[in-house]
Structure 1
């Protein structure tokens, strides 16, 4: 469920299915009926298991610092459907959504698409109308057969690969990589972060097949520590990131290298000071976000992202007592996530979200899976945080769809 999306569907009497149907035939047909809005601007396409949102955010800030106009399409939402599509960093308006739905209805697209396919078409329609310099598009699930893969990007980015959505993408790293590598297009540029060897082989083969220039982390460009980037031609030192965690250094490097790869086409000259300011001011809600004095929020929704969260906690709070507040969707690897987090804390509270009862793993089940010594359940996240925030560092974590609701409540009520 995409919050507020049904409101617009009902308002404009546009029908779409809530099923997941991988494949491009339906969305490509719909885009043709709208005169191909996805081809109206330069595009950067991003797919991968983790790091997509952070990489997109830093790349967008770098573009904005260079006075380029931008659009982003990302998943999931933070509050509702409006913030999944942003123009120059701002969520789209009700008027923009209404106009796009009117155009879609007039084109006769109602009933042809799934919810996410329809949202993708709406996003491209709004972005075309905004006439931006660069659209940065995040793949919804996988890549090869995801509805966003209708684009023809200047640059494709794959920050990381780990097991996810195995019911749809397969249960090996090679099969996951096959789907992610599908965003690489003919004669384009592709960037990859550090990925497992099994996945790396698949990506190399795909890039060669597409005659794409493949730029690899640690081989073609490098990042070290908090703020060192170089690619053989340029070198930036003492970069200061606002987004914490060593893994964010890798995402920063991908963003910087991708910007340089697109600069000529975008008719822009990269400036070091503007890049420095961009990485120092990048912000993404729910990525080790400081909510209050001792409260942080992070969307660690799979074992790989939980490992990154654990490492960030060890780096930032090596001596502190940690308490986790957790909520997870049913289809996530809960065992894998909890085993990572339990390495840095013995105290867990599993909290229910009324709006997500059908998708959330029951908190009683989470309690059974947890191996923590101190564990409990609760119904109200704000009450739990207020009770614990002076005792320890509170980390609110789990599936991003769940955190959206919690984030709003915490920001409104915590002082």
Structure 2
């Protein structure tokens, strides 16, 4: 084995390939063939989309586990520990399991150069193959057609939403992005499509690949009531189905509708009670995650969200409107993001912006962030070089029981999560 500690493996993986992102399937397909792996589970579900992938997978995982099935989950990125990316039966795999998987991939790759994400994807596939799993849930990292996850043939493909993000890789128009994301489909499998708009590229791909297309607000949808909702959709054989009296989830409702249609395409026994319990208990770190903390002696509530594009920001704004009062927001983003779109979407629910930056190479410097908001005509903002300082001042200035939203990227949430035990230690 090349290394004896997981940290050593991860450090080496970061330096293995000349670029962080290098879309394409040829390298990973070569290594996958050498690994000679059999099918990962009885049913494989691949999930792509601009927003909502994580929420969709979290609800699927929760419901399936409540129904008694063994589930493997691969997601990215992670917040605090790499192990979060590979979960079996609700538990992140151990350092030892990851190192065995990394070693197997390293041996099989021979001289093939792999990116950090490609190497990790192959390791996850290797780990799932070692387990008797009922369902494997795979989250696409970027796009779909050329993402490393797409080396696995799914039984069900899911596209949660189509929006502008990663334009330098996926294109800058929604139809092109739709083509890239629906690239996870295969002939004669269902595609559960959760976006409200069916782009021409989606129809073209479905016709070319003879895919059964299930569209939100067409083949499936929901009826919203005051304290519950009902789902209507299609079963595997195409007949109509309905599930009534469902509880609203803590995760985005629009994704829950998609989840119910996915479940109807699985030939598995899933009781209504399992669906209800799974919706209620499903949680996703970094998605409207609430943390009660004490900062400099003052009780504070932080709402953490990884939202990093206008569509995700719009979803958060809709959720925060329930508070019926403008809130304070701490924002730190990466350099390639649509800052103007994010701020415009959030503006109706934000009283004060606290601008900062995260400690990564891809971060947008706070001076540049401030300049872009100034050009947008935003006057209710303050700037801070250090994220901790921004959060602490927001907490100091917040009214009693006034939550603070912290958003902008996975890195923003991860840095905040690392601060929470530090604040707790300071109160002792």
Q: Does the 8 Å CA contact 2:196/2:216 hold for their aligned counterparts?
A: no
Q: Does the 8 Å CA contact 1:228/1:236 hold for their aligned counterparts?
A: yes
Q: TM-score, normalised by structure 2?
A: 0.87
Task: Please give the per-residue CA displacement for 1:222-274, whole angstroms capped at 9, x wherever unaligned.
Answer: 12335221226332333223425xxx222111112111201x1xxx3121111
Aligned ranges 1:6-405 → 2 under 5 Å: 7-9=8-10, 15-36=16-37, 39=40, 41-109=42-110, 111-197=112-198, 199=199, 201-225=200-224, 227-231=229-233, 233-244=240-251, 248-262=252-266, 264=267, 268-292=268-292, 294-314=301-321, 316-318=322-324, 320-354=325-359, 356=360, 358-370=361-373, 371-378=377-384, 379=386, 380=388, 381-391=390-400, 392-405=402-415
Q: How far apart in 2 are the matches of 1:60 and 1:282? A: 8
Q: Does the 8 Å CA contact 1:329/1:360 hold for their aligned counterparts?
A: yes
Cα offset, 1:60, TM superposition: 0.7
Q: 1:411 to 1:238 in 2, by over 3 A?
A: farther
Q: Does the 8 Å CA contact 2:154/2:186 hold for their aligned counterparts?
A: yes
Q: 1:110 to 1:285 in 2, by over 3 A?
A: farther
Q: How far apart in 2 are the matches of 1:251 and 1:170? A: 24
Please, which moves more after superposition, 232-241 or 112-121? 232-241
Aligned length: 399
The answer for unaligned runs of 5 or more in structure 2 is: 235-239, 293-299
Please, which moves more after superposition, 364-373 or 274-283? 364-373
Q: How far apart in 2 are the matches of 1:186 and 1:59? A: 23
Runs of 4 or more above 6 Å deviation:
11-14
Q: Does the 8 Å CA contact 1:178/1:202 hold for their aligned counterparts?
A: yes
Q: How far apart in 1 are the matches of 2:42 and 2:15? A: 26
Task: Please give the per-residue CA displacement for 1:345-367, whole angstroms capped at 9, x wherever unaligned.
Answer: 2300012333x2x2110112212
Cα offset, 1:385, TM superposition: 4.6
Cα offset, 1:389, TM superposition: 4.4
Q: How far apart in 2 are the matches of 1:75 and 1:301? A: 15
Q: 1:9 to 1:345 in 2, by over 3 A?
A: closer
Q: Does the 8 Å CA contact 1:73/1:84 hold for their aligned counterparts?
A: yes
Cα offset, 1:308, TM superposition: 0.8
Counterpart secondary structure, 1:107: helix
Q: How far apart in 1 are the matches of 2:261 and 2:14? A: 44
Q: 1:17 to 1:6 in 2, by over 3 A?
A: farther
Task: Please give the per-residue CA displacement for 1:19-54, whole angstroms capped at 9, x wherever unaligned.
Answer: 322111110001011113565653100111011110
Cα offset, 1:96, TM superposition: 0.7
Q: How far apart in 2 are the matches of 1:352 and 1:398? A: 10
Please, which moves more after superposition, 6-15 or 324-333? 6-15
Counterpart secondary structure, 1:408: helix
Q: How far apart in 2 are the matches of 1:20 and 1:135? A: 24
Q: TM-score, normalised by structure 1?
A: 0.90
Q: Does the 8 Å CA contact 2:329/2:405 hold for their aligned counterparts?
A: yes
Please, which moves more after superposition, 302-311 or 9-18? 9-18
Cα offset, 1:135, TM superposition: 0.9
Q: 1:348 to 1:384 in 2, by over 3 A?
A: same
